[in-house]
Chains A and B, each alone.
Chain A
Amino acid sequence: MPDQNMKILTVDDFSTMRRIIRNMLRQLGYNNIVEAEDGAEALSLLQREKVDFVISDWNMPHMNGLDLLKAIRADDNLKPLPVLLVTAEALKENVVEALKAGVNNYVVKPFTAETLKERIDAIFKE
């Protein structure tokens, strides 16, 4: 069972998606949530604050979700951080690329709070 008090960073350039994910997380009992608008802002936040879990969109300007994931895995301090990627599509080559880069799981839009819960539970069961 994941720690309900863990600090979760949600990353998306659309405020709508950040708001939807925040609402879903609150519905699931997670209230310690911080947000960033793109990968670059997220990375900067991660280097300043301790975060326990990252939920990031794939397609974003400046630094996309895959590049954020690669940056996290390349940083000795951030390397073990669990990352869930949110994608608008599920192309096999993208999934393979994300798995190679060390993603913990991914979820395809549109999704429900129940699907998000399943992904989070699966990550923290590992």
Chain B
Amino acid sequence: MDVSFINPFLEAAVNVLQTMAFTETHVGKPFLKGKAPLSEGDVTGIVGLTGDKHGSLAVSFSEAAILQVVSNMFGEACKDINDDVRDAVGEITNMICGDARRILAEHGHHFQAAIPTVIDGKGHKICHPFPGPVLVIPFTVGEEGMCVLEVCLTESDSRQGQTPKNSRLPH
């Protein structure tokens, strides 16, 4: 997978979490996701991408990570994963995707994005709408939180005749 398509997502995630949630992150070693579609987190935002390539971005947080992030964003303590937290995960995913698309556009790569979908629950599965390798980038959030970015991008030709399973149309 071409890192020039991946780094903007990582840069955007760090930027969004720092700017909107005043949260420091430490990036771990990226790896290719295996066959098991289990996420690394407790709540996940996923958004479909079309354009120069096709695929999706998933942003998955452990409970400790997202509660810290949302508490910082709102300026008040969030104690469990409720509707406010799920909405925040959707908006964080949206912002990371938008910021990454801005960086990609500066390098001549243009993408459109769908509206994010949010999934939560321990051990939930993340199924990316299009087939292809999924690069996982783990990072720590604050002192004990974990977050992973999953980026799945395939050549536009590889999706011919296929229908995305759970993404919504771009707007």
Contact = CB atoms under 8 A, between A and B. Distances in A.
Contacts of B101: 88-89
A61 B170 CA distance: 11
Contacts of A90: 102
B48 interface: no
Size bin of chain B's contact surface:
20 to 34
A67 to B, nearest CB: 12
A110 B94 contact: no
Contacts of A112: 19
B68 to A, nearest CB: 15
Of A14, A15, A61, A64, the most chain B CB neighbours within 10 A belong to: A14
A108 interface: yes
Contact of B87 (A16, A23, A89): A16
B16 interface: yes
Interface string B102-144: 1001000000000100000000000000000000000000000
B84 A15 contact: yes
A28 to B, nearest CB: 14
Given A15-B84, A89-B105, A110-B15, A20 B20 contact: yes
Nearest to A58: B98
B84 A91 contact: no
Contacts, number: 58
- Tell me whether chain B's interface is mostly helix, strand or loop, or mixed: helix
A23 B75 contact: yes
A14 B91 CA distance: 6
B74 interface: yes
A98 to B, nearest CB: 15
Given A14-B90, A14-B91, A59-B171, A87 B98 contact: yes
A16 B94 CA distance: 11
Contacts of A20: 20, 73-74
Given A16-B73, A110-B15, A88 B105 contact: no
A91 B87 CA distance: 25
A25 to B, nearest CB: 13
A109 interface: yes
Given A23-B75, A109-B16, A109-B98, 6 more contacts: A14-B91, A15-B84, A59-B115, A64-B171, A89-B99, A91-B102
Interface of B: 15-16, 19-20, 73-75, 84, 87-88, 90-92, 94-95, 97-99, 101-102, 105, 115, 171
30 contacts: A14-B91, A15-B84, A15-B87, A16-B84, A16-B88, A16-B90, A16-B91, A17-B91, A20-B73, A20-B74, A23-B75, A59-B171, A61-B115, A64-B171, A87-B98, A88-B94, A88-B97, A88-B99, A88-B101, A88-B102, A91-B102, A108-B99, A108-B102, A109-B16, A109-B20, A109-B95, A109-B99, A110-B20, A110-B99, A111-B19
